[in-house]
């Protein structure tokens, strides 16, 4: 059985268009402090994404999950962070007046890009 060549183009074009839609979700490109890093006491956490974000629909929670002497405990939310988008709209910046004390932390975030796709994730870091 012989198919005309243009019929082979339809499934290939469909596959390529679906792949480009799947890539439309924002991705976390980098974080400062970096995931799984050990850092000096930061007063700022920055999450950089692959696309521009919608500010009111993008947020992050910072939770302390361990302290020196008690390496693991119930997460305690660090409530005094102020969140803002960077000037380019692709980074969520969390800032607080005082540096974080020594311990382990988990950052749980969710982000919505201007194309309205929502993604979420989390990472941990430690403060020495």
Domain residue ranges of the chain, discontinuous segments joined by +: 25-127
pLDDT digits (tens, 9 = 90+) for 52-65: 999 999 999 999 99
Give the pLDDT of residue 16: 45
Helix (H, G, I), strand (E, B) or coil at 42: coil
Rg (CA), the chain: 20
Sign of the C-alpha dihedral, residues 31, 35, 39, 41? positive
Give the pLDDT of residue 104: 98
Instruction: Decide which of 8 and 128 is more confident.
Output: 128
Q: What topology does CATH give the domain 25-127?
A: Immunoglobulin-like (2.60.40)
d(CA 5, CA 18): 21
Under DSSP, the state recorded for 109 is E
Mean pLDDT, residues 8-19? 47
Percent over 90 (pLDDT), the chain: 74
Give the pLDDT of residue 4: 57
For the question of whether the overall pTM of this predicted structure is more than 0.95, the answer is no
Q: Are 73 and 56 in contact (CB under 8 A)?
A: no
Q: Given a cut of 60, is residue 12 above it in pLDDT?
A: no
Q: Are 48 and 31 in contact (CB under 8 A)?
A: yes
């Amino acid at each position: 059985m012989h198919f005309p060549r243009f019929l082979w183009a339809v499934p290939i074009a469909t596959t390529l268009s679906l792949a480009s839609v799947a890539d439309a979700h924002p991705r976390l490109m980098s974080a400062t402090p970096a995931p799984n890093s050990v850092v000096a006491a930061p007063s700022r956490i920055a999450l950089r994404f692959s696309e521009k974000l919608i500010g009111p629909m993008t947020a992050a929670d910072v939770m302390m999950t361990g302290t020196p002497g008690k390496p693991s405990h119930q997460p305690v939310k660090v409530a005094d962070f102020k969140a803002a988008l960077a000037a380019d709209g692709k980074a969520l910046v969390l800032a607080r007046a005082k540096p974080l004390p020594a311990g382990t932390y988990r950052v749980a975030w969710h982000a919505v890009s201007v194309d309205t796709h929502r993604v979420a994730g989390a990472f941990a870091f430690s403060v020495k």
